[in-house]
Amino acid sequence: MINTITRGFASDNNSGVHPDILDAISRANIGHTIAYGDDQYTQAAMEAFEATFGGNIEVFFVYNGTAANVLGLTSATRSFNSIICAETAHINVDECAAPEKFCGSKLLSIPTEDGKLRPPDIEKHLHGFGFEHHAQPKVISITQPTELGTLYTTAEIITIVDLARKYDLVVHMDGARIANATVALNTDLKTCTRDLGIDVLSFGGTKNGMMFGEAIVFFNRNLSSNFKYIRKQGMQLNSKMRYISAQFEAYLSNGLWRNNAQHANKMATLLKRGIDAIPAVQITQKVETNGIFAIIPGDCIQDLQNEFFFYVWNEAMSEVRWMTSFDTQAEDIEAFVQLLKDKIA
Amino acid sequence: MINTITRGFASDNNSGVHPDILDAISRANIGHTIAYGDDQYTQAAMEAFEATFGGNIEVFFVYNGTAANVLGLTSATRSFNSIICAETAHINVDECAAPEKFCGSKLLSIPTEDGKLRPPDIEKHLHGFGFEHHAQPKVISITQPTELGTLYTTAEIITIVDLARKYDLVVHMDGARIANATVALNTDLKTCTRDLGIDVLSFGGTKNGMMFGEAIVFFNRNLSSNFKYIRKQGMQLNSKMRYISAQFEAYLSNGLWRNNAQHANKMATLLKRGIDAIPAVQITQKVETNGIFAIIPGDCIQDLQNEFFFYVWNEAMSEVRWMTSFDTQAEDIEAFVQLLKDKIA
Amino acid sequence: MINTITRGFASDNNSGVHPDILDAISRANIGHTIAYGDDQYTQAAMEAFEATFGGNIEVFFVYNGTAANVLGLTSATRSFNSIICAETAHINVDECAAPEKFCGSKLLSIPTEDGKLRPPDIEKHLHGFGFEHHAQPKVISITQPTELGTLYTTAEIITIVDLARKYDLVVHMDGARIANATVALNTDLKTCTRDLGIDVLSFGGTKNGMMFGEAIVFFNRNLSSNFKYIRKQGMQLNSKMRYISAQFEAYLSNGLWRNNAQHANKMATLLKRGIDAIPAVQITQKVETNGIFAIIPGDCIQDLQNEFFFYVWNEAMSEVRWMTSFDTQAEDIEAFVQLLKDKIA
Amino acid sequence: MINTITRGFASDNNSGVHPDILDAISRANIGHTIAYGDDQYTQAAMEAFEATFGGNIEVFFVYNGTAANVLGLTSATRSFNSIICAETAHINVDECAAPEKFCGSKLLSIPTEDGKLRPPDIEKHLHGFGFEHHAQPKVISITQPTELGTLYTTAEIITIVDLARKYDLVVHMDGARIANATVALNTDLKTCTRDLGIDVLSFGGTKNGMMFGEAIVFFNRNLSSNFKYIRKQGMQLNSKMRYISAQFEAYLSNGLWRNNAQHANKMATLLKRGIDAIPAVQITQKVETNGIFAIIPGDCIQDLQNEFFFYVWNEAMSEVRWMTSFDTQAEDIEAFVQLLKDKIA
């Protein structure tokens, strides 16, 4: 166990909860409300979602991102379907085969350089339709931003959605950090999700200042008709729902999602600027959101981690990952850059 | 949606969060910690569990009670096993077949008058061992207190555990309200669980003043060796774990669990006393913890619900359920008894 | 291992294969055919099914009765559904929780005296629709004849189907011995299945002279659109399909199903007549098809089994089951009745 | 539907059943035997397996190869495990996600040139042990011969088994055509499976002259203790088991497996010899067993198929697959080679 208080660069889920979120939780802590979501806080949160994404949607809260992904995928599949994703996708490498276990479906994972799926790679898997020996492709799952911190452009997503439409596939977006993508694209949440044709979105907030809770946003309501049962059977129906709902209402209503994400991205830019002056650090992916991937001399990793914790991404390559967060401070960056200079130079 | 602020008698999960729990959450909200449980708050919570239940146990946190039950059962079974429970058990009627879906196992449910399993009823299912056509019995799951508010005596549990040992079965206890049972039995948490031979306990706090989070406590460590994978694949690994851990530490360490449960039970006793004076209300189950089941004139139910919300348990019989909670006030009881008198008399 | 050649009364699947079936298999053993069912034998079998049950149906072959039941139920359910059946149903007690594992659904089993479901008992489970905590009832599964050898009358099935229609439920019939029921009802296969409103039928032949293979017959084609994938993923797609198809074609086309079943039923009637003259043998269920359930003195069971093998059905009650088969001979019955008289009198 | 009688080159499961197998079935068709495998034919088959593979093994019969693979893998895994295989493996591309559905596990598929796994490729997946976010690697599944007709050498298998031992992994062999491999390696069945350290073998016969039925042979008995329940719950327990057992007894006892496989392989060699003289046909994989993969001019494919049916393997590359079988005749080869010359030249 690493006893930390110091803000490090390990992950945006190592950070705490934004004070506005805690306040919202406290404000909801009054009297009784009906359990399981039939309450005024949840109603208000739903209105905030409609204000954000437009009407005629269905939104369900679950506890975490893995559940949002897995249950969202369940809503779109039968067990004989397959799901296409990048090899680096969270659903493929960080969910301990939960999609396989719960959906019963096959994941078709595609190696990529930068975490982004591209139509020609997807198309290689688009065969065997109607052939019963072959799991039937049904979902393309993309992560925005990717697990490598990179961004799909709007045009890139459109080509994927077009491909999906051609083959009658559903497009799922893992948006665990969708706020960071949205501000990076200088747009709003609806424009970069629903308006591009995404069918179902895992909408995360925990990595951007919330305490717990994730939303599954159905833009395609054909997928959501049975979702309340899928959620309950998926062990993801929260009894005291108001404490998720109050968070989301605060997160969406006053620009908190945007402010937090902008700040985290800005801190990554600041860190990148500092690193650019250190020749021995080689950045390996475009810095487009709040993560930096870099190759550094292996012998200084332990020393660095002792002061600011972070993870090694690829041991063989001596590649590390540095994540900034809503609570990263400019002085954290300065101190870390100075440390890098001291230890690496 | 019923817009409530008024404290009602619908469920102990309609209540809010105890201030001490909120305080503990706020105090944990400082700096960074490693995600997923490798942090000092979780360490402290584990120590509180060991102080409560003794050493040589394994404790895992999940989000809610359904998950605690389902994943605890998964740890003890293979899909070809069966699980014996009361017909009224939460796992049988309130989890939308999550045990069947996730464990793949058969539930053998036993009709009871009072929610309590008894050895002769269990034994009817203890056959077909080694016979491959028959799902192999592996777990007896009991709920303490039961969904009907009744209590197993210590002696009753011991006879069930003895039966389990004879047939090499695991005993699971659904302790969503174990605090209420413990104070009703005038004992401590270890004495009425581990010391009776329970193998795995779903230890709840949400119905007794916590916000979210449930613990699976393995007294039998043979069952827990793979549990971390089962939890992750079960979509129940919390990233910002400290916010569950801090709650449990506060809940266990300063007698909060006991105070809250004692209060809730006392309020039920008070309510019972008031009801006893109303001949038209017929109590149907022993009032041993914090729930009261009663048959009342059907035509006054709606009127009553308009002022204090509660659920009808059995429509055909006009039987209702009234739950008290840690935050129920004596004046709530008085007002409700008065209302009952006004509406029913 | 009991080394038997002697025809006993253990089960109709202890019998061999009717010569006409073996002949049909041999006749199909010529040259090459496309695997997995795209062959002329399968085409001919499908035509035989249409001649039997009428057009506009879908028929799929699987290997055995458990698969026919489980996959048929899968076609009609999602994992959050429940399936209503008699406590004695094969799906409930003889399939090692395969329905739970494969469908992920809950079985709601109903105790009965005679293996037959009745609407009032079914209706007790028809609640909680739309309530997400509750597995959603979706299928009523009846067995015709029942595992206790009894028969639903046409009128009884119609009341069940009417109930199903009212609640938008699917009716599945486990017809492992449907031939025996059909001849007992003195009707034809279509009249006692499709014409009564059955949606999906497990159509068995193995217990009536076939070697292996069972058909799932969809009268309700809304259920069959994805079935080819369900079958393949269910590990039930036979490569050399012609050897199942040729059996079914022979079974259906020349009255073999009827002749075999009539004979088996007649042998049961003969056995019953013999037993009626032995006061110490007490028949416990109506003898309506090819099974007899009877209480006999426990101390003679072993002696009887040594000469004609059969199973004890209920050890506590000293109740045994005697099944006749297509190959049971009148002299088998005579010899067995004589033995009963010798050993019991 | 292609109406075939002509022996083609589509698949060895398009062929019929060897007369000796049919004879064995007929000979078993006498009197009654206990169902589900407790009979003398199954006993004899088990003895034949012990004579073939040595004692201290456990053998179970299932209906087909998909079931043998999926249930064999189930015996070695929990749902949080992963299974490593070639991208071309039957379990990966031809079982409609049955392994994912039934095991709940993740398949880690490795692209290969020739269908053969090699340790360095496997090792890339051997990380994350003990890390709960990551499905835990547990099985290496190899196919011998591969789906591309190629053979692992003994030395190659040993290096894979050594790797497996180092990481405490189980080695599963998909031996749907193991007879063809064994004769190609000029050895016996035990030497090229058990003696190399294989833990569990899917032992096929259907592609080599049997009618139906596949064996799961456990050399590692730690894996088989619960298998009878896995098989039953997997819908693969045959009631009239004798008709599988009699086939296997005949297949193993009189060299039939060897004779059939030798013949099929010899026919492939003959076909290769003929093709070698046709410059426009380019063989793409080593011809080591009974399959030939070749690139041919696309415009003649339809014409060829009209006379001798076969499958296109890779449409984009105009690559086709020709399989020979136990019943392929030398004149079939001659006629087909002549046809190739006529159509292609």
pLDDT digits (tens, 9 = 90+) for D220-259: 999 999 999 999 999 999 999 999 999 999 999 989 999 9
Statement: residue A1 has pLDDT above 70: no
Model pLDDT, residue A3 = 53
Backbone angle region of B229, left / alpha / beta, with phi > 0 → left and psi within -120 to 50 → alpha? alpha
CB of A249 less than 8 A from some CB of B: no
Q: Which of residues 56-95 of D touch B (CB under 8 A)?
A: 78-80
d(CA D323, CA C105) in angstroms, rounded, equals: 42
Average pLDDT over residues A67-88: 98
Name the phi and psi angles at D50, rounded to 5: -70, -35
Axis-axis angle for helices C256-276, C242-253 (nearest 10) = 70
Query: Are residue A26 and residue A119 in the same domain, yes or no?
Result: yes
d(CA D129, CA D190) in angstroms, rounded, equals: 32
Q: Evaluate whether residue A10 is within a structural domain.
A: no
pLDDT-based confidence at residue B3 (cuts at 50, 70, 90): low
Instruction: Give the single-character DSSP code of C142.
Output: E
Model pLDDT, residue C3 = 53
Model pLDDT, residue A4 = 60
CB of D176 less than 8 A from some CB of A: no
Report chain C residues whose CB lies below 8 A from the CB of B80.
96-97, 101
Query: Are residue B103 and residue B45 in the same domain, yes or no?
Result: yes
CB-CB under 8 Å, C132 with A79: no
Statement: residue B25 has pLDDT above 90: yes
Q: Evaluate whether residue A279 is within a structural domain.
A: yes
Is the separation of the CB atoms in D137 and D126 below 8 Å?
yes
What's the whole-number average pLDDT of chain A? 96
Query: Are residue B194 and residue B79 in the same domain, yes or no?
Result: yes
Model pLDDT, residue A254 = 87
Is the separation of the CB atoms in D291 and D148 below 8 Å?
yes
pLDDT-based confidence at residue C5 (cuts at 50, 70, 90): confident
The three-class DSSP label of residue C292 is strand
Q: What is the pLDDT of residues A196-224, one digit of tens each?
A: 999 999 999 999 999 999 999 999 999 99
Q: SS in 3 state form for A103-159?
A: HCCEEEEECCCCCCCCHHHHHCCCCCCCCCCCCEEEEEEEECCCCCCCCCCHHHHHH
Model pLDDT, residue D344 = 87
d(CA D252, CA D221) in angstroms, rounded, equals: 22
CA distance, residue B306 to nearest chain C CA (Å): 21
Dihedral of CA atoms B300, B306, B311, B312 in degrees, nearest 10, equals 20
Q: Evaluate whether residue A2 is within a structural domain.
A: no
Model pLDDT, residue D16 = 96
Q: Which of C223, C253, C283 is the last residue of a domain?
A: C253
Query: Are residue D81 and residue D207 in the same domain, yes or no?
Result: yes
Q: Evaluate whether residue A263 is within a structural domain.
A: yes
ipTM above 0.90, yes or no: yes
Report chain A residues whose CB lies below 8 A from the CB of C80.
226, 229-230, 232-233
Statement: residue D151 has pLDDT above 90: yes
Model pLDDT, residue C193 = 98
CB of D225 less than 8 A from some CB of B: no
Residues shown for chain A: 345
Give the nearest partner residue to C2 out of D13, D34, D67, using CB atoms. Answer: D34
Give the nearest partner residue to B233 out of A7, A63, A96, using CB atoms. Answer: A96
Is the separation of the CB atoms in D217 and D50 below 8 Å?
no
Written as one letter, the residue type at C58 is E
**Cα separations (Å) of A63 from A216, A249, B34, B37?**
10, 16, 19, 16
d(CA A99, CA B319) in angstroms, rounded, equals: 42
Q: What is the pLDDT of residues A36-62, one digit of tens each?
A: 999 999 999 999 999 999 999 999 999
Average pLDDT over residues B216-245: 98
Model pLDDT, residue B254 = 87
Question: Which is nearest to A151 in space by CA: A111, A189, A183, A119?
Answer: A183
Q: Which chains touch A (3 or more CB pairs under 8 A)?
A: B, C, D
Give the nearest partner residue to D229 out of B80, B230, B237, using CB atoms. Answer: B80
Model pLDDT, residue B4 = 59
pLDDT-based confidence at residue D5 (cuts at 50, 70, 90): confident
Residue with tokens 């909680």: C128
Q: Which of A253, A278, A302 is the last residue of a domain?
A: A253
CB-CB under 8 Å, A107 with D104: no
Query: Are residue D210 and residue D286 in the same domain, yes or no?
Result: no
Q: Which of D226, D253, D280 is the last residue of a domain?
A: D253
CA distance, residue D188 to nearest chain B CA (Å): 33
Question: Which is nearest to C10 in space by CA: C275, C318, C320?
Answer: C320
CB-CB under 8 Å, B94 with C133: yes
Angle at D225 between CA D223 and CA D230, to 5 degrees: 85
Query: Are residue C186 and residue C95 in the same domain, yes or no?
Result: yes
DSSP sequence for A58-85 = EEEEESSHHHHHHHHHHHH--TTEEEEE
Q: What is the CATH number of the domain that holds B175?
A: 3.40.640.10
Name the phi and psi angles at B215, rounded to 5: -110, 140
d(CA B48, CA A202) in angstroms, rounded, equals: 35
Model pLDDT, residue D216 = 98
Query: Are residue C180 and residue C289 in the same domain, yes or no?
Result: no
For C237-306, list the strands marked E by DSSP.
282-283, 291-295
Sign of the dihedral through C-alpha B308, B309, B313, B318: positive
Model pLDDT, residue D3 = 53
Is the separation of the CB atoms in A61 and A244 below 8 Å?
yes
User: Which domain covers residue B170, as residue numbers?
Assistant: 19-253
DSSP sequence for B98-128 = HHHHHH-PEEEEE--SSS---HHHHHTT---
pLDDT-based confidence at residue C254 (cuts at 50, 70, 90): confident
Give the nearest partner residue to A78 out of C133, C135, C226, using CB atoms. Answer: C226
Model pLDDT, residue C6 = 83
Statement: residue B1 has pLDDT above 70: no
Query: Are residue C122 and residue C241 in the same domain, yes or no?
Result: yes
Question: Which is nearest to C190 in space by CA: C302, C88, C73, C56?
Answer: C56
d(CA B214, CA B232) in angstroms, rounded, equals: 15
Average pLDDT over residues B151-177: 98
Query: Are residue B99 and residue B156 in the same domain, yes or no?
Result: yes
CB of A102 less than 8 A from some CB of B: yes
Statement: residue A297 has pLDDT above 80: yes
Q: What is the pLDDT of residues C186-234, one digit of tens each?
A: 999 999 999 999 999 999 999 999 999 999 999 999 999 999 999 999 9
CB of D286 less than 8 A from some CB of C: no
Mutate to test the interface with A, among D101, D107, D127, D131 (most CBs of A within 10 A): D101
Q: What is the CATH number of the domain that holds C332?
A: 3.90.1150.10
Query: Are residue A247 and residue A287 in the same domain, yes or no?
Result: no
Domain count, chain C: 2
pLDDT-based confidence at residue B255 (cuts at 50, 70, 90): very high
d(CA A199, CA A173) in angstroms, rounded, equals: 8
Nearest CA in chain D to A124: D316
Name the phi and psi angles at C293, rounded to 5: -110, 130
Query: Are residue C165 and residue C265 in the same domain, yes or no?
Result: no
Beta pairing partners, C311: C321
Report chain B residues whose CB lies below 8 A from the CB of D104.
233
Q: Which of residues 10-39 of B touch C (CB under 8 A)?
A: none
Give the nearest partner residue to B212 out of A235, A238, A327, using CB atoms. Answer: A238
d(CA C76, CA C220) in angstroms, rounded, equals: 10
Query: Are residue C48 and residue C122 in the same domain, yes or no?
Result: yes
Q: What is the pLDDT of residues A250-261, one digit of tens each?
A: 999 989 999 999
CA distance, residue A31 to nearest chain B CA (Å): 5
Statement: residue D2 has pLDDT above 60: no
Please state the separation of Cα A213 from the chain's center in Å.
12
CB-CB under 8 Å, C132 with B95: no
Q: What is the pLDDT of residues B256-270, one digit of tens each?
A: 999 999 999 999 999
CB-CB under 8 Å, D228 with B132: yes
Q: Evaluate whether residue A134 is within a structural domain.
A: yes
| Model-wide pTM > 0.95 | yes
Q: Evaluate whether residue B12 is within a structural domain.
A: no
Q: What is the pLDDT of residues B176-189, one digit of tens each?
A: 999 999 999 999 99
Statement: residue A2 has pLDDT above 70: no
Is the separation of the CB atoms in D200 and D220 below 8 Å?
yes
**Residue C203 has which token pair?**
């159509």
Statement: residue B6 has pLDDT above 90: no
Q: Evaluate whether residue C170 is within a structural domain.
A: yes
pLDDT-based confidence at residue A344 (cuts at 50, 70, 90): confident
Name the phi and psi angles at C86, rounded to 5: -75, 150
Q: Evaluate whether residue D14 is within a structural domain.
A: no
User: String of b and e for B228-250 (b: at least 16 CB within 10 Å)?
Assistant: bbbbbbbbbbbbbbbbbbbbbbb
Counting other chains too, the contacts that B29-32 makes at CB distance below 8 Å and 24 or more residues apart are B29/A16, B29/A17, B29/A22, B30/A5, B30/A16, B31/A4, B31/A5, B31/A6, B31/A7, B31/A16, B32/A4, B32/A5, B32/A6, B32/A7, B32/A8, B32/A10, B32/A14, B32/A15, B32/A16, B32/A309, B32/A325, B32/A327
